Chains A and B, each alone.
Chain A
Amino acid sequence: MIKTDILIIGAGPTGLFAVFEAGLLKLKCHLIDALPQAGGQCSEIYPKKPIYDIPGFPEVLAGELVDNLMEQIKPFQPGFTLGERAETIVKLEDDSFVVTTNKGTRHNAPIVAIAGGLGSFEPRKPLLENLAKFEDKGVAYIIKDPEVYRNKKVVIAGGGDSALDWSIFLADVASEVTLVHRRNEFRGALDSVEKVQHLKDAGKINLMTPAEIVGLNGKDHLESVVIRKTGDDSAINFEVDNFIPLFGLSPKLGPIGDWGLEIEKNAIKVDNTLDYQTNIPGIYAIGDVNTYPGKLKLILCGFHEATLMCQSAYQRIFPDKKYVMKYTTVGGVTGFDGSKKEAPKAVVKAIE
């Protein structure tokens, strides 16, 4: 079991900065994120977009901001559980919490800070009536093991990079790959688009555009999909073993919504008069995931919330210790790795 002082759920800018503020108080942090890399939306959705309202940065790319935050928190050696989604929380007798991910990784901490942003990013599912019936029975939204598709008839739907890349990859694995997209145009790396063109010309990928999957058929396992060509009322029944819709990711609050926390407007209600604690003592919510009167979903507000949360967490962990906030200009930054940053000392020396 991973043990830490503050368990942060969500490795976006707010969660990352919380590591720094906790570090100044000598508190250790561990972060869980469903995405395979740190940075949250900034890395996943808009790494190349500029942000103009980070105080002191007239302009910074979202990806650069994440790189800077990672550099800033490095001395405090945060732990990461990436690519796993926080699933359940249990309170122990000593008032600490155990958070378990979907892959079974367990984390124990006296403080949990939810910095979950919009939630965890889940595959977007097409609106098909009996879709749920065929999940894991021919329908999958994520390709975990490509070997599953060896010598199978596969239909992939989507027009982005993942649809293109998997079509290319599975062309050599599956017995037949059909790529269905609503437009003739694909949005992806030029190289991928050209490769699919090449494979199509070579007869290794069937391309059906503009077309859409409008139905699924089968007894227990998927047996066929209904494909409708755009602008054509006729639909064809197409025999397949597997259907892989790849329509990107969208954020969902997910299992956190079932943790007994007070939810309002798809966000977690917190006490903004004090420390951003939720209705469960010891669990805080900071950044875009929380709500309170006047809430603004801004990175700079998340930084502020993270800072106050850490002060409150410190007092919760050490109720008897006296402490006052210290400026980094005065106290410097002492990392857990032994590094020390501080302002250069002035000398007192007579000039003769």
Chain B
Amino acid sequence: MTDIRITIIDRDGVTHEVDAPTDMNMNLMEVVRSYELAPEGTIGICGGMAMCASCQCYVNSEHVLPEKSDDEEAMLAEAFNVEDNSRLGCQLHITDDMDGLEVQLAPEEL
């Protein structure tokens, strides 16, 4: 079992440093949920199909991440509060090269 360390700033601005496994087929949205950094029902609503934007986050660090798929691109085009560094957490698969990643959760859509 291998873990990487990532920093997640929650919607209240609180910083959390958490361990994320690279061998559990997890994505960033699921890591946030597993540590309950956002209330259930406010993140990962579509279950990780890039069909809602409840797991939108801003990537603060300079990590090179995989390109956005067409689905992610299209969803971000419809989402609110989108910035240039916006990504959908559910589309970011946890890998070794994400060690040290820092992300901030986007505000909840009401």
Q: Is the CB of A45 within 8 A of B40?
A: no
Chain A 146-171 near chain B by CB (<8 Å), digits 1 or 0:
00000000000011100000000000
Q: How far is the CB of B48 from chain A (nearest CB, A)?
A: 11
Chain B 58-81 near chain A by CB (<8 Å), digits 1 or 0:
000000000000000010011011
Chain A 253-279 near chain B by CB (<8 Å), digits 1 or 0:
100000000000111000000000000
Let me know if A203 is at the binding interface, CB within 8 A: no
Q: Is the CB of A124 within 8 A of B41?
A: no
Let me know if A331 is at the binding interface, CB within 8 A: no
Q: How far is the CB of A54 from chain B (nearest CB, A)?
A: 15
Interface centre among B39, B46, B77, B110 (most CB of A within 10 A): B77
Let me know if A304 is at the binding interface, CB within 8 A: no
Chain A 85-111 near chain B by CB (<8 Å), digits 1 or 0:
000000000000000000000000000
Q: Is the CB of B40 within 8 A of A250?
A: no
Q: Given A118-B45, A251-B45, do A46 and B78 touch, yes or no (CB 8 Å)?
A: no
Q: Is the CB of A250 within 8 A of B41?
A: no
Q: Is the CB of A265 within 8 A of B40?
A: yes
| Closest chain B residue to A126, Cβ basis | B80
Bound together, the chains give a CA A45 to CA B52 distance in angstroms of: 10
Q: Given A187-B74, A265-B39, A265-B41, do A45 and B49 touch, yes or no (CB 8 Å)?
A: yes
Contact of B41 among A185, A187, A267 (CB under 8 A): A267
A residues 127-144 in Cβ contact with B at 8 Å: 127
Contact of A182 among B47, B51, B77, B109 (CB under 8 A): B77
| Closest chain B residue to A49, Cβ basis | B49
Q: Is the CB of B42 within 8 A of A266?
A: yes
Bound together, the chains give a CA A253 to CA B51 distance in angstroms of: 18
Contact of A158 among B40, B47, B52, B78 (CB under 8 A): B78
Question: Hey, which chain B residues are within 8 Å of A250, CB to CB?
Answer: 45, 52, 109
Interface centre among B39, B49, B80 (most CB of A within 10 A): B80
Bound together, the chains give a CA A263 to CA B69 distance in angstroms of: 36
Let me know if B82 is at the binding interface, CB within 8 A: yes
* Secondary structure type dominating chain B contacts: loop
Contact of A45 among B51, B80, B82, B109 (CB under 8 A): B51
Question: Hey, which chain A residues are within 8 Å of B42, CB to CB?
Answer: 266
Contact of A46 among B49, B77, B109 (CB under 8 A): B49
Let me know if A247 is at the binding interface, CB within 8 A: yes
Q: How far is the CB of B92 from chain A (nearest CB, A)?
A: 20
| Closest chain A residue to B49, Cβ basis | A46
Let me know if A248 is at the binding interface, CB within 8 A: yes
Q: Is the CB of B45 within 8 A of A46?
A: no
Bound together, the chains give a CA A271 to CA B109 distance in angstroms of: 31
Bound together, the chains give a CA A104 to CA B80 distance in angstroms of: 33
Q: How far is the CB of A262 from chain B (nearest CB, A)?
A: 15
B residues 25-39 in Cβ contact with A at 8 Å: 39
A residues 177-195 in Cβ contact with B at 8 Å: 181-183, 185, 187
Bound together, the chains give a CA A265 to CA B41 distance in angstroms of: 6
Question: Hey, which chain A residues are within 8 Å of B110, CB to CB?
Answer: 125, 127
Q: How far is the CB of A48 from chain B (nearest CB, A)?
A: 11
Bound together, the chains give a CA A124 to CA B81 distance in angstroms of: 13
Contact of A159 among B40, B78, B80 (CB under 8 A): B78
Q: How far is the CB of A181 from chain B (nearest CB, A)?
A: 8
| Closest chain A residue to B51, Cβ basis | A45
| Closest chain B residue to A183, Cβ basis | B77
| Closest chain B residue to A263, Cβ basis | B41
Q: How far is the CB of B33 from chain A (nearest CB, A)?
A: 11
Enumerate 11 A-B pairs (CB-CB under 8 Å) in ascending A order.
A45-B49, A118-B45, A124-B80, A124-B109, A182-B82, A185-B77, A187-B74, A247-B80, A250-B45, A250-B52, A266-B40
Shortest 9 CB-CB contacts between residues of A and residues of B: A266-B41, A265-B40, A187-B74, A183-B77, A127-B80, A159-B77, A247-B78, A45-B51, A265-B41
Contacts A187-B74, A250-B45, A266-B42 given; 19 further ones with Cβ under 8 A? A45-B46, A45-B51, A46-B51, A49-B49, A118-B45, A124-B78, A124-B80, A124-B109, A127-B81, A160-B78, A183-B77, A185-B77, A247-B80, A265-B40, A266-B39, A266-B40, A266-B41, A291-B40, A297-B47
